[in-house]
């Protein structure tokens, strides 16, 4: 009878999960065996539990076995799963096995010990395995934590957000603390799955789970690479932890200023002036095809030599010339010109104060006009003043 029971369990396992790799049968052992590491379990009323089963075939040809569970009390919900799905039959290969799960949902008013019988029946095999279910109201605290997506990719400017399921497998309500530890200067925080309020703990009812969001922001100067953050939860004497990974890709970061950091220059109205500009890349990836552009008051002209920098490695700088020509009609005074550098979504800009003076030719011309006017005035006074 014991051999038949093991055979039935083995059939159930074959129907509900992929067949295990075939191996030689132990000497003197032949048949279908249905097995469970823990055929007697204790759970809390109103909770759900699963019992792992294995359906083993030693030395027999493959045969489809019908699966069933007998002895299910009223109000209970019992099902057999294989590969995460409900199954009704299994076929373990010769000298192979399949894995199954017996899922048990019990009502909140369940109190009496019950016995469920898992059966596997085929043309030449009929085996069964009893599973004893007992109840306890005060089970020790138990927590579990599982990230939906444990690996995320982004740039140093990204905010990495991990959705994490936190479950209270205890028989009582718990206030679960939340903590995370990452590399130096990495910022971490928690919010509810669909909220914005930051959390340090979260209440979870017995047997229930809640989604929380672990937000991780790396420092802007972090180098490209993979970084691990450990999330820990705890309540009373129970704790659990999980790890998530940030795959940080490099990103350029541009800077722009005048030579030596100077943001001012002088120019003459109507004449081209060359202003030395330093473009730097302080990011963690090369900046390719850096385009230079500028804007200035109406009538002004701004060009660059060269107009494009083919590439800037991390930590590298390059000097270019901004060629600025104020309008011929510009009057003396201070003006502002905006100069920019950009590449693939990254850009930098700086405002330059440009002091404009008018040409000395116009000054001499003006003095000459004034002198001629004075001479004409003096001559007129001398001529008409005698009358």
H or E segment to which residue 10 belongs:
helix 2-16
What is the mean pLDDT of the segment spanning 144-154? 93
Residues facing 303 on adjacent strands: 323
Query: How far, in Å, are 42, 52, 301, 351 from residue 49 at the CA level?
Result: 9, 10, 77, 67
pTM: 0.48
What is the mean pLDDT of the segment spanning 186-204? 90
Instruction: Tell me what pLDDT residue 104 has.
Output: 93
Pairwise pLDDT comparison (251 vs 317), residue with the higher score: 317
Q: How would you class 140 by CB atoms within 10 Å of its CB: exposed for 0-12, middle for 13-18, buried for 19 or more? A: exposed
Running DSSP on this structure, what letter comes out for residue 361?
Answer: H
pLDDT digits (tens, 9 = 90+) for 136-145: 766 677 899 9
| Cα(42)–Cα(137) distance, integer angstroms | 10
Structure confidence at residue 374 as a pLDDT band (50, 70, 90): confident
Check whether 243 has a pLDDT greater than 90: yes
Instruction: Tell me what pLDDT residue 11 has.
Output: 39
Instruction: Tell me what pLDDT residue 13 has.
Output: 39
Q: What is the strand order of the sheet 40-43 is part of?
A: 40-43, 126-135, 114-121, 65-70, 89-90
What tokens does 296 get? 């200035």
Instruction: Tell me what pLDDT residue 5 has.
Output: 42
Instruction: Tell me what pLDDT residue 361 has.
Output: 53
Query: How far, in Å, are 218, 253, 268, 300 from residue 183 at the CA level?
Result: 9, 22, 54, 50
Contact 260, 276 (CB under 8 A): no
8: left (phi over 0), alpha (psi -120 to 50) or beta: alpha
pLDDT digits (tens, 9 = 90+) for 300-357: 999 999 999 988 888 899 999 999 999 988 888 999 999 999 987 788 999 999 999 8
pLDDT digits (tens, 9 = 90+) for 64-106: 999 999 999 999 999 999 988 999 999 999 999 999 999 999 9
Structure confidence at residue 284 as a pLDDT band (50, 70, 90): confident
Structure confidence at residue 111 as a pLDDT band (50, 70, 90): confident
């Amino acid at each position: 009878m014991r051999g038949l029971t093991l055979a039935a369990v083995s059939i159930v396992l074959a129907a509900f999960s992929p067949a295990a790799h075939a191996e030689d049968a132990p000497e003197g052992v032949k048949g279908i065996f249905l097995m469970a590491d823990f055929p007697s379990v204790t759970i809390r009323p109103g909770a759900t539990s699963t019992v792992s089963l294995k359906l083993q075939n030693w030395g027999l040809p493959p045969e489809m076995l019908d699966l069933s569970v007998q002895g299910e009390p009223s109000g209970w919900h019992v099902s057999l799963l294989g590969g995460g799905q409900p199954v009704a039959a299994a076929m373990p290969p010769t000298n192979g096995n399949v894995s199954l799960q017996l899922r048990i949902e019990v009502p909140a008013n369940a109190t009496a010990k019950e016995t469920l019988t898992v059966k596997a029946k085929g043309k030449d095999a009929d085996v069964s395995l009893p599973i004893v279910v007992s109840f306890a109201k005060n089970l020790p605290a138990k927590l579990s934590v599982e990230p939906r997506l444990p690996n995320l990719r982004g740039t140093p400017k990204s905010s990495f957000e991990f959705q994490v399921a936190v479950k209270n497998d205890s028989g009582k309500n718990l206030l679960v603390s939340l903590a995370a530890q990452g590399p130096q200067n990495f910022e971490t925080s928690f919010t509810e799955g669909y909220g914005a309020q930051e959390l340090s703990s979260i209440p979870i009812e017995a047997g229930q789970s809640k989604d929380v969001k672990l937000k991780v922001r790396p420092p802007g100067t972090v180098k490209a690479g993979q970084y691990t953050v450990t999330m820990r939860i705890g309540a009373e004497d129970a704790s659990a932890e999980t790890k998530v990974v940030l795959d940080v890709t490099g990103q350029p970061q541009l800077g722009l200023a005048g030579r030596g950091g100077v943001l001012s220059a002088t120019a003459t109205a109507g004449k081209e002036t060359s202003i030395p500009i330093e473009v730097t890349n302080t990011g963690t990836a090369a900046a390719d095809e850096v385009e230079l552009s500028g804007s200035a008051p109406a009538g002004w002209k701004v060009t660059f030599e060269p107009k494009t920098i083919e590439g800037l490695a991390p930590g590298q700088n390059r000097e270019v010339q901004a060629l600025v020509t104020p309008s011929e009609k510009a009057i003396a005074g201070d003006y502002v010109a905006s100069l920019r550098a950009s590449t693939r979504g990254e850009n930098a800009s700086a405002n330059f104060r440009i002091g404009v003076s008018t040409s000395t030719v116009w000054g001499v011309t003006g003095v000459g006009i004034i002198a001629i006017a004075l001479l004409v005035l003096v001559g007129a006074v001398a001529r008409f003043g005698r009358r």
